[in-house]
Structure 1
Amino acid sequence: MADELRLICASQDLVEAGNGVRFTIKRYERDVPAFVVRFHGRVYGYLNECGHVPAQLDWLPGQFFDDSKLYLICSIHGALYAPETGRCLGGRCQGKGLKPLSVSEIEGNIFLDQQNNHG
């Protein structure tokens, strides 16, 4: 099972509704941008791609939350997403949510479950 988990970052690197941590995953033989954030004490991971067009959400690296710290926002289109589900809440995403990744927090570290996140 350890081979299936890939370290993303230390738990302390993710502050509640603060900056996310960016990383890449292999999908269809190419590196695809992804990120993790902490919201309401839990860690969530998504592909770093707006539901509207394939553009990365963060204008500055790691800045995924809007000013209220309640929603993930596409800095280009203003689309809003629920941090805990990736569901589109408004804006140009037109109902297309973020693509979730299977991540876990174990013994002070955040891991990507590579077996459940292949493409």
Structure 2
Amino acid sequence: MLQKHFLCRSEDLDVGGTGLRFEVQKDGEKRPAFAVRSTAGISAFLNRCGHRDLELDWSPGEFFDLEGRLLICATHGALYDPQTGACKGGPCNGVGLHPLFVTEEGGLVYLTDVNYSLVSNETP
């Protein structure tokens, strides 16, 4: 049976807007993560740049570039596709973000990744 861990209400994530920071756990190790909404829908990733082992957001929950189109690492400017996490430019050199499975249903967003459990979430 698919485990669903509540993250936030759908309305809490605007296209190109502030994302939701949360923490997941795998094999006893806690890892920061985030969810955002793009024109393609809601996506979630581990909050680790493909270029360096640093969190992306330049301010808590701020993951998008100024145009709200691409995810950007605040430290070195690596750019990522908000739907897939693929490297789109900058120093990430083809190394993308690690995606997490999320589901949106009934106006709510859930973490549904079988490899990770939810430790905590922060509402936007």
- Tell me the TM-score normalized by structure 2: 0.89
Q: CA deviation at 1:30?
A: 1.7
Q: CA deviation at 1:114?
A: 3.8
Match of 1:19 in 2: 18
Q: Any conservation in 1 of the 2:56–2:73 contact (CA below 8 Å)?
A: yes
Matched position secondary structure for 2:8: strand
In 1, Cα distance between the equivalents of 2:100 and 2:74? 21
Residue ranges of structure 2 left out of the alignment (5+ in a row)? 118-124
Q: CA deviation at 1:82?
A: 0.6
Q: CA deviation at 1:24?
A: 0.6
Name the structure, 1 or 2, with higher relative contact order (CA <8 Å, separation 6+). Answer: 2
Match of 2:120 in 1: none
Q: CA deviation at 1:97?
A: 0.1
Residue ranges of structure 1 left out of the alignment (5+ in a row)? none
In 1, Cα distance between the equivalents of 2:41 and 2:51? 26
Q: CA deviation at 1:58?
A: 0.2
Matched position secondary structure for 1:58: coil
Q: Any conservation in 2 of the 1:65–1:73 contact (CA below 8 Å)?
A: yes
- Say which structure is richer in helix: 1
In 1, Cα distance between the equivalents of 2:15 and 2:113? 24
Count of residues paired in the alignment: 117
Q: What stretches of structure 1 move > 4 A for 4+ residues in a row?
A: none
Say yes or no: does 1:89 pair with 2:91. no
